Structure 1
């Protein structure tokens, strides 16, 4: 049985997965009204694609999904003149442009079906949905303008069919989706779909991010009726969108700062209220305890949620759930001490110089750039590398060092690192 059902909740209140773009996601989003308003103003006012920059785990994906849902609701309520509808999936950036494009086009087709009733009731023209269903469900793929496939059978000079054995790579499907979008959203002022391309930081360097974005510029970023929000961490978006080739295509990033400690407690308060199934439900980590975890985790929501899940499992497996909230808080601190002791014991290979660097890094926010070597007592980046490497091997930091991209915050504390800092700093 799901342990949280035993505690009296229908869902895991500490789930790390992003919020969905629906009514529940909207109820659960906390502390992001200003950022939501900025996105709404962007979508309704300018024709560039929005971008967002914030630490890993700060909640960028949840923010965009809920902002798009709220835009749709605001349109239905007469507060916006055009609807903006969240695509049914978010996407992770990929260097395999063809596969990413193929997947995005199929998701757009599915999204047209999802919003069929909404769009029709709002007076929007829709393409032939039977044709779209054929594209998505039939083993036959229809090609436009002599589409490509396995030995296509000619139907006319401009239309053919072929067996769909490889998904939606056919040129015809790309052209068809483009046409469907133009039918629904003939101009930018009438709204569109909102899509998220996430985790641009996995490309590691701004140079690679610019290359990938330039490849998208003339394909995905030119799809009619689709407003993209590109999300990244570690300074990748600020560096990438500064390229002249992307000027006028992607706007400067909207900064997404960590939630306040008070709002972190409200995150859990909302979730416990939403998922509670009985009056005597007892949460292993109450809002006050979660605020404490959030501060231990360096104000990183994702890390705090992970710690809350791990603690919940430990409590359940050891049958330790106290009835009293104060006792649960004491137990949480004991668990944190145990975890920190264990991880520090496993980090015996770290040298005193490594601990000096580690303590300074964590006390100043948990991230730095390789170009800040002087501030950490090194005379060069090469002198800094061995120290960073030993911390990586101990799983206390992760890094992606780029000699040509020294401003990006590419050295970051891990969840394990934050727990050890909790002990070493006598938090």
Structure 2
């Protein structure tokens, strides 16, 4: 048994980010305000929009839906700015230097323009948008070809002979892309290619993230015809935005929280409607089952979808015929999941671990220096407990600061399941 055999075109519980397309538009729930804020910032300001929020809340999905709407507006109305989403998002890590990042950036922008050739508007003096064959040739070859004549068909070319020197390649290729962008998007209000730097928390510290973004301020962020969006987990984007060197460059972050718990049923319904191939298609997980998972994970759609998929996989492995699934299958599966999770973790709890666990579940995002709010006077003691929790998989450090006491933590899906089990046991008593 599989989703396809049940009458679905694909896995309706995929927890991947929504794509920048019509399907993504169909699936998005309860994010209209956030999408509108982002669209407005891209359209009306030269500042870089920023988003931040806990892992799994749908930040990347919001960006993708906003980019799709911007593109659709451009295609519906030629008086609207032309915004073209870059073909992929960018990530920065500790090993990647500024020059390496710029190499990747220019290459992906060039590929985006080549792939979007049929959507590009003709600049003044052109009957159609120029398609740069020489740049396409460069992309396909490690050696720069002889760029003679007019690269962009309007005196914007440069000459040269085949040369494999990295410095020469960078200068020539970047100059060609800069010229192409200026021709297509002569003014900021004309639009541009929209590029996203996602998952800034990969840098692990706001100081490192700030340093890296500062290095791009006078390079990538000043390329004409390119718009940027920055995205990261709680704390990291605000840390970047606080930089004095970036003052006036970045918008204050759009804070992305969990979905409202009352929209869990709508998330399920949209998934079913989008992926089923006929009205008779039925899933082993009911709407009420999904709402239970959605509530357990406090509106975190990624966690809820992942757990919904896990249940369906279990059913597919256990049962060959949907009509033969016992009525209590979901309740039995969930109880076993929660009990196993509890037994694997709680046996290792000691001293004041349970007290600390209850406190962090209320906070959800916290730093060790918050210990006094949770009834702990000793930061070192509380930090030691968090180290154990990290080993158990209960918390995840999302942002390392200069000192351990300022490290930002988030509770994990395992914590939410454990808390749900403890609460349900208390309710029974």
Q: Would you call these one fold, judging by a TM-score over 0.5?
A: yes
Q: Does structure 1 residue 129 correspond to structure 2 residue 132? A: yes
Other-structure match for 2:263: 263
Residue 77 (structure 1) shift: 2.5
Residue 32 (structure 1) shift: 1.4
Other-structure match for 1:213: 213
TM-score by length of 1: 0.88
TM-score by length of 2: 0.88
Q: Deviations over 1:297-341 (max 9, x none)?
A: 13211111111111111111011775499x66x432322221121
Partner Cα distance (1:361, 1:168) in 2? 54
Q: Which runs of 5+ in 1 are unaligned?
A: 146-155
Q: Which runs of 5+ in 2 are unaligned?
A: 149-156
What SS does structure 2 have at the residue aligned with 1:5?
coil
Other-structure match for 2:343: 345
Other-structure match for 1:150: none
Other-structure match for 2:6: 7
Residue 402 (structure 1) shift: 4.2
Q: Does structure 1 residue 296 correspond to structure 2 residue 296? A: yes
Which residues of 2 match residues 105-254 of structure 1 at below 5 A? 105-120=106-121, 126-142=129-145, 158-163=159-164, 170-254=170-254
Partner Cα distance (1:167, 1:285) in 2? 57
Which residues of 2 match residues 60-71 of structure 1 at below 5 A? 60-71=59-70
Residue 131 (structure 1) shift: 1.3
Residue 162 (structure 1) shift: 3.0
Other-structure match for 2:154: none
Partner Cα distance (1:334, 1:365) in 2? 30
Other-structure match for 1:376: 374
- Range that drifts further, 54-63 or 68-77: 68-77
Residue of 413, 422, 425 corresponding to 1:424: 422
Q: Does structure 1 residue 84 correspond to structure 2 residue 83? A: yes
Residue 68 (structure 1) shift: 1.2
Cα gap change, 1:407 to 1:74, in 2 (>3 Å) = farther
State whether residues 126 and 184 of structure 1, in contact with CA within 8 Å, keep that contact through their aligned partners in structure 2. yes
Partner Cα distance (1:301, 1:260) in 2? 10
What SS does structure 2 have at the residue aligned with 1:47?
coil
Other-structure match for 2:386: 388
State whether residues 9 and 277 of structure 1, in contact with CA within 8 Å, keep that contact through their aligned partners in structure 2. yes
State whether residues 50 and 253 of structure 2, in contact with CA within 8 Å, keep that contact through their aligned partners in structure 1. yes
Other-structure match for 2:365: 367
Q: How many residues align?
A: 412
Residue 189 (structure 1) shift: 0.7
What SS does structure 2 have at the residue aligned with 1:295?
helix
- Range that drifts further, 298-307 or 99-108: 99-108
Residue 157 (structure 1) shift: 9.1
Q: Deviations over 1:73-123 (max 9, x none)?
A: 123223962121211111223231333322222211111022211114797
Other-structure match for 1:47: 46
Other-structure match for 2:317: 317
State whether residues 49 and 228 of structure 1, in contact with CA within 8 Å, keep that contact through their aligned partners in structure 2. yes
Residue 296 (structure 1) shift: 0.5
Partner Cα distance (1:54, 1:401) in 2? 12
Cα gap change, 1:135 to 1:245, in 2 (>3 Å) = same
Other-structure match for 1:35: 34
Residue 163 (structure 1) shift: 4.8
Cα gap change, 1:425 to 1:51, in 2 (>3 Å) = same
